[in-house]
Amino acid sequence: MAHSVLPEPAFPDLDSMLSRKFGKEVANYFSGSPLNRVSFLRSDHAFLSAALRHPATCFLLFDNLNPLAKDPSNLEYVSYKDVTPLIGDDPYSKTEEQMISEYNSTITIPQLLFLGLDERNKQGLTYNIYTGAPYFALDVTPKGTITAQAQWLIQTMQSGGLSFLKGRIQASLPPQDAAIYAQGRALLDWNARNPFCGQCGQPTLSINGGTKRTCPPKDMSSLEGAIGGNVGSAPTKRPDCATRKGISNLCFPRTDPTVIMAVVSSDGKRVLIGRQKRWPPFWYSTLAGFVEPAESVEEAVRREVWEESGVKLGRVVIHSTQPWPYPANLMIGAIAQCIPGGEGIVLKHDPELEDARWAELDEVREALRVGTSALGESAQEGYKEGNLRLPAGTAIANQLLAAVVAGFVGEFPKI
């Protein structure tokens, strides 16, 4: 598979004091969205209603988190007319307050997300001072009371020669489409994983353009908190819930910070790489792990590297970041250097790695040239069997290793 090029960083040609000191910004795959999220308009149903029905509006459909596409390299966006059989004429005709007061847990509401405006399209919707083509993501997975409508929509799309891309990771899309896909997938996944309140266990309602879930105080279902009960003639008051008082992080999408690091030896001549047992032969990558509560990024880098490899680190520098919608990670890329005498590898602390070793910069440089790919895919022409394999260019690990062999840890490093 030919992987896509990386997104262009913001203002790549801008000369500034920061760019002169640290170099150009690094953009990773799944970042670089062309959309202005205008997050402050998500609760404005007059805006969402107008955005929904505008002729320039684009909808990206997902079936079990698989996006609709022409082929593995081209997403397919559909129109308002295409989705009305599932979502109805206007799901934003009522205010959020009305939706909450009329909530009925026995009725399945199609999960619709407002993603943002593509301001490059000057023929798009104009609302106050904002102009652009609106983008939405829609979950068409058959479920609950919308099963028949969702199945019909899926079959209609497939009869037109389209398909929903299978596979856990989509890394062959053009960069801007990849970013739109990542935003939609991450938020749909979060909504699907949180149908119940984490505080009281009652069913929740998606609001704020699909970026918040609320625990309504009453339910039109006659069975308190039940999904599938009979509709009652009056709302049933639900138990008190702490999420209805003040600000609660239970109602908002989560992003899990993860550190991933290229570790350089104390003399700057070697890079630490590791592999898991399930990976193909000769395939290695940088080390990575989750940031724990009350832990800085730098501390997480040092801890994870020591736990997995026994190597002891000194200075840690953040290089770049990558959204990773599987399901909701933010990969915080760092480059770190060992303390003198700290290069000894010990794998007995944490059994996560099958192997860890030091690689000379020339070996890494050659692997970046001809030995990169996604897991299970073939390397480039010129690769010799038995040589080092590394992640594809769409992975932040590739960017980190490329920065190291390009002299990041030299006398005058540039980000």
Residue 171 has pLDDT above 80, yes or no: yes
Q: What is the band of 119 on the pLDDT scale with cuts at 50, 70, 90?
A: very high
Cβ(236)–Cβ(322) below 8 Å: no
pLDDT at 413: 43
Smallest Cα–Cα separation from 180: which of 383, 382, 360, 7?
A: 7
| Contact (Cβ atoms closer than 8 angstroms) between residue 149 and residue 85 | yes
Is it the case that residue 246 has pLDDT exceeding 80? no
Task: Choose among 349, 340, 336, 342: nearest CA to 312.
Answer: 342
How far apart (Å, rounded) are the C-alpha atoms in residues 372 and 392? 5
Residue 233: predicted pLDDT: 58
Percent of the chain with pLDDT over 90: 83
Decide if pLDDT at 318 tops 80.
Answer: yes
Of 285 and 199, the one with more pLDDT: 285
Higher pLDDT, 264 or 231: 264
Mean pLDDT of 14-22: 90
The pLDDT-based confidence of 23 (bands split at 50, 70, 90) is confident
Tokens of 355: 């192997």
Average pLDDT over residues 337-358: 96
Using alpha carbons, select from 213, 196, 190 the residue that is nearest to residue 326.
Answer: 190
Output the pLDDT for position 248: 67
pLDDT band at 224; cut points 50, 70, 90 = very low
Q: What is the pLDDT of residue 5?
A: 79
pLDDT digit string, tens, across residues 365-378: 999 999 999 888 89
The residue among 56, 97, 105 whose CA lies nearest residue 79 is: 56
65-84 average pLDDT score: 97
Whole-number average pLDDT of the chain: 92
What is the model's pLDDT at position 230?
Answer: 52
Report residue 408's pLDDT band, with 50, 70 and 90 as the boundaries: confident
Average of per-residue pLDDT across 299-325: 97
Segment 9-27 mean pLDDT: 90
- Cα separation, 73 vs 61, in Å, equals 16
Which two three-digit tokens encode residue 217? Answer: 């105080």
DSSP string, 26-57: ---TT----EE--GGGTT-HHHHHHHHH-TT-
